[in-house]
């Protein structure tokens, strides 16, 4: 693991690191904030998954999580959203496909399957690396994310309820199999058999029997992607009568940007800290 940068913040350390990934077959970059409490004892870890077009840097620079994470004693890990490199397949004219749009799945179709194995990277390789190099209590893990990252967080939590104690999302894509801006990417990554898509679709996972105790979802009513991409009410409907708790908060005048995310970031960190205590 290579250290790209380290900066003191709120008594803790914000670092950016790179490593050669066997899951994605390229070099990956990720960010980790370690709170001051980690000097004394292992701390719970919170995974933040970013949205389309983003890297690890978007939430690190605009998410405003460090002050509260330092206060609550949370390690926050921010991975990249896709594989990177000159030999990685991409679609330069489509921001919903390729680099920056890994959708946290393992692609099965060529040429995407050569590198786009973000599900394995997030659930297996990166946790092993973080557990080796940082003072984390792996028995206390939470996961959250924004947009495409909210989709990733919710599907990963639903598939690993034994690992994660908390999950939340900002403006998540809850039904990517039928959303205008994700279904075309799913077909290219996973093929035309839609049955294969269900394992990466939060609503479909619940319909197929997956369970997780509860979710916190924040959504801006002025989000330009609300009607054709996000549709969080579909998850609320899918979870009805399943025993899954869904707290869906709709906010007037908030859009899809990091102004929205940073406004409610403290709420999400506190939500996770209560469940990771």
pLDDT at residue 181 in the model: 84
pLDDT digits (tens, 9 = 90+) for 176-195: 999 988 999 999 999 999 99
Do 11 and 35 form a contact (C-beta atoms < 8 A)? yes
User: Distance between CA 161 and CA 96 in Å, rounded?
Assistant: 29
How far, CA to CA in Å, does 162 sit from each of 49, 69, 97?
A: 19, 23, 31
Q: Which of 80, 90, 218, 223 is catalytic?
A: 223
Indicate if 22 belongs to the active site.
no
What residues have CB less than 8 Å from 277, skipping those under 6 apart? none
**Closest Cα partner for 14 from 23, 27, 3, 24?**
3
Among 147, 166, 177, 182, the active-site one is 147
Q: Give me the residues of the chain with pLDDT under 50, please.
A: none
79: which strand partners?
Answer: 30
Q: For this structure, is 139 an active site residue?
A: no
Specify burial of residue 114 (Cβ count, 10 A radius: 0-12, 13-18, 19+). middle
pLDDT at 276: 98
Q: Domains plus CATH for the chain?
A: 2-276 (3.40.50.1820)
Pick the closest to residue 13 from 66, 56, 54 (CA basis): 66
This prediction has a pTM of: 0.97
Catalytic (active site) residue 147: yes
The total of other beta-carbon atoms located within 10 Å of residue 250's CB is 14
Q: In this predicted model, what pLDDT tens digit does every residue of 91-148 receive, in sequence order?
A: 999 999 999 999 999 999 999 999 999 999 999 999 999 999 999 999 999 999 999 9
């Amino acid at each position: 693991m290579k250290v790209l940068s380290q900066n003191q913040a709120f008594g803790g350390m914000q670092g950016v690191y790179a490593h050669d990934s066997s899951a994605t077959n390229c070099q990956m970059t990720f960010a980790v904030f370690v709170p001051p409490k980690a000097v004394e004892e292992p701390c719970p870890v919170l995974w933040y998954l970013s949205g389309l077009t983003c890297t690890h840097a978007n939430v690190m620079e605009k998410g405003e999580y460090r002050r509260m994470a330092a206060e609550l004693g949370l390690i926050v890990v921010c991975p990249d959203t896709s594989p990177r490199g000159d030999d990685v397949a991409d679609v330069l004219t489509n921001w919903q496909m390729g680099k920056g749009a890994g959708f946290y799945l393992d692609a099965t179709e060529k040429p995407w399957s050569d590198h786009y194995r973000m599900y394995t990277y997030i659930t297996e390789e990166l946790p092993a690396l973080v557990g080796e190099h940082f003072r984390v209590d792996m028995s206390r893990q939470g996961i959250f994310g924004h947009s495409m990252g909210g989709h990733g967080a919710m599907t990963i939590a639903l598939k690993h309820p034994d690992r994660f104690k908390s999950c939340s999302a900002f403006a998540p894509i809850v039904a990517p199999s039928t959303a205008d801006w994700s279904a075309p990417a799913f077909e290219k990554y996973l093929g035309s058999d839609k049955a294969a898509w269900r394992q990466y679709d939060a609503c479909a996972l619940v319909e197929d029997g997956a369970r997780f105790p509860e979710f916190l979802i924040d959504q801006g009513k002025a989000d330009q992607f609300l009607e054709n991409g996000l549709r969080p009410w579909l998850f609320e409907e899918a979870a009805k009568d399943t025993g899954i708790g869904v707290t869906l908060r709709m906010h007037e005048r908030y859009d899809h940007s990091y102004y929205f995310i940073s406004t409610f970031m403290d709420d999400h960190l506190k939500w996770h800290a209560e469940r990771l205590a």
